[in-house]
């Protein structure tokens, strides 16, 4: 979970927080009232970082409902999913699940997992790149370790024209993540991209500072539990911020991955790219495996590039909890699966 950030300690020169900030993080609506959905989201995200809750939920296995969002516990299972999605005209992005490793040995293991994954995707000639979390590569052990590990993976991916995206995690990691991304781009690394989160006040200024690098950016709303000192607490503000960032990114020289399941935003993006004659070589839609699969296919049928993010591995708990928090109604199928046991 993200550390509470002190006022004035936002680490970037972004937009000021709204003056009428609610008293606590996500879950509190206008006038300080707690909305049931917001409260559920907040509680689920609090449990996402709890190792005891993880041990309990993991005991019940993928049958609890995680299999809807996780493309398998093994690489073989994920590769089979990717093969099927590719056949339907969907690009993929594979991620080895895991984050916040606390030892060099665990980070080294993650590097070996990604080395195998990159080799497998190339051998099978799949239309799939990879995404990686810096905390899985050891960011919380040491920034140099994560940088060295990522560089190893990029060196392996580059000769095969494989692309590596650095996921964005809690706000306390944004500075290190963007710093590393900038160093790589200014050092001439082409096969790397990262993610910007629309819920952070700082993101508009981060985007401006990255644009001269011709970046490949995935825009997301943001999935972590953040303080209202750093992130818009209200969904309407996050949605507005998303559209502004998207339009700015699309009219720049970079590549924009529009990662959302929000149909209104997707239709807005389609209208905007048409009006500004922005071709499909400059953007793609991205969605998560298991979320709005019909929408994914209908966009492909309309001729748009669509990438599905496919994650696999046994450390699915925090990822699964973030998917539940995005739509607390998902708790219903978790409940049904528990009762069915």
99 in contact with ligand FDA (CB under 6 A)? no
How long is the chain? 341
42 in contact with ligand FDA (CB under 6 A)? no
Least distance from ligand FDA to the Cβ atom of residue 320, Å = 10
Distances (CA, A) of 296 to 77, 107, 302, 319: 21, 33, 10, 20
206 in contact with ligand FDA (CB under 6 A)? no
Least distance from ligand FDA to the Cβ atom of residue 337, Å = 15
222 in contact with ligand FDA (CB under 6 A)? yes
Nearer to ligand FDA, 104 or 153 (CB): 153
Residue 226, Cβ density class (10 Å: 0-12 exposed, 13-18 middle, ≥19 buried)? buried
Least distance from ligand FDA to the Cβ atom of residue 201, Å = 15
326 in contact with ligand FDA (CB under 6 A)? yes
The per-residue DSSP string of 248-305 comes to HHHTSSSEEEEE---HHHHHHHHHHHHHTT--TTSEEEEEETTSSHHHHHHHHHTT--
Nearer to ligand FDA, 79 or 308 (CB): 308
Choose which of 262, 272, 297, 328 interacts with ligand FDA (CB under 6 A): 262
220 in contact with ligand FDA (CB under 6 A)? yes
Q: Is 234 a catalytic residue?
A: no
Residue 117 token pair: 């994954």
213 in contact with ligand FDA (CB under 6 A)? no
Residue 150 token pair: 């990522």
195 in contact with ligand FDA (CB under 6 A)? yes
Q: Is 281 a catalytic residue?
A: no
Query: Coil, strand or helix: which one is 44?
Result: helix
Least distance from ligand FDA to the Cβ atom of residue 159, Å = 26
CA distance 106 to 129: 22
64 in contact with ligand FDA (CB under 6 A)? no
Residue 32: left if φ>0, alpha if ψ -120 to 50, beta else—which one? left
110 in contact with ligand FDA (CB under 6 A)? no
Q: Are 166 and 146 in contact (CB under 8 A)?
A: no
CA distance 269 to 339: 41
Q: Which of 10, 41, 202, 218 is catalytic?
A: 218
296 in contact with ligand FDA (CB under 6 A)? no
Rounded to 10 degrees, the C-alpha dihedral 260/276/192/173 comes to -50
Of 239, 244, 288, the residue nearest 264 (C-alpha) = 239
Q: Which of 167, 225, 234, 315 is catalytic?
A: 167
261 in contact with ligand FDA (CB under 6 A)? yes
Residue count, binding to ligand FDA (CB under 6 A): 23
Choose which of 163, 181, 201, 224 interacts with ligand FDA (CB under 6 A): 224
286 in contact with ligand FDA (CB under 6 A)? yes
Q: Which spans of this chain sit near ligand FDA (rule: CB under 6 A)? A: 167-168, 195, 197, 220-224, 259-262, 286-288, 291-292, 309, 323, 326-327, 330
- Give catalytic residues, as residue numbers: 167, 218
């Amino acid at each position: 979970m993200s550390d509470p950030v002190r006022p004035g300690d936002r680490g970037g020169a972004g937009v000021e927080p709204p003056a009428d900030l609610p008293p606590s993080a996500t879950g509190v609506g206008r006038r300080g009232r707690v909305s049931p959905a917001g409260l559920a989201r907040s509680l689920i995200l609090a449990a996402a970082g709890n190792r005891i809750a993880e041990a309990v939920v993991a005991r019940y296995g993928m049958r609890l409902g995680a299999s809807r969002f996780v493309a398998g516990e093994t690489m073989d299972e994920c590769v089979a999913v990717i093969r099927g999605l590719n056949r339907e005209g969907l690009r993929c992005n594979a991620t080895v699940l895991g984050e916040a490793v606390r030892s060099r040995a665990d980070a080294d293991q993650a590097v070996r997992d990604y080395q195998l994954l990159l080799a497998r995707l190339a051998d099978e000639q799949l239309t799939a790149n990879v995404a990686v979390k810096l905390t899985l590569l050891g960011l919380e052990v040491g920034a140099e370790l994560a940088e060295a590990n990522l560089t190893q993976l990029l060196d392996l991916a580059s000769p095969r024209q494989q692309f590596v995206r650095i996921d964005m995690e809690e706000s306390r990691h944004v500075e290190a993540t963007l710093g590393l991304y900038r160093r790589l781009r200014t050092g001439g690394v082409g096969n790397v991209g990262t993610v910007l989160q629309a819920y952070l006040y700082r993101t508009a200024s981060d985007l401006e500072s990255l644009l001269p690098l011709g970046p490949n950016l995935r825009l997301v709303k943001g999935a972590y539990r953040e303080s209202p000192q750093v992130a818009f607490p209200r969904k309407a503000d996050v949605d507005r911020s998303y559209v502004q960032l998207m339009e700015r990114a699309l009219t720049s020289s970079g590549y924009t991955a529009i990662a959302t399941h929000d149909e209104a935003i997707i239709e807005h993006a389609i209208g905007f790219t048409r009006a500004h004659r922005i071709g499909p070589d400059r953007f793609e839609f991205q969605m998560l495996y298991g979320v709005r699969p019909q929408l994914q296919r209908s966009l492909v049928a309309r001729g748009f590039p669509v990438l599905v993010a496919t994650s696999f591995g046994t450390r699915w708990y925090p990822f699964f909890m973030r998917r539940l928090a995005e739509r607390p109604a998902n708790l219903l199928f978790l409940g049904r699966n528990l009762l069915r046991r």
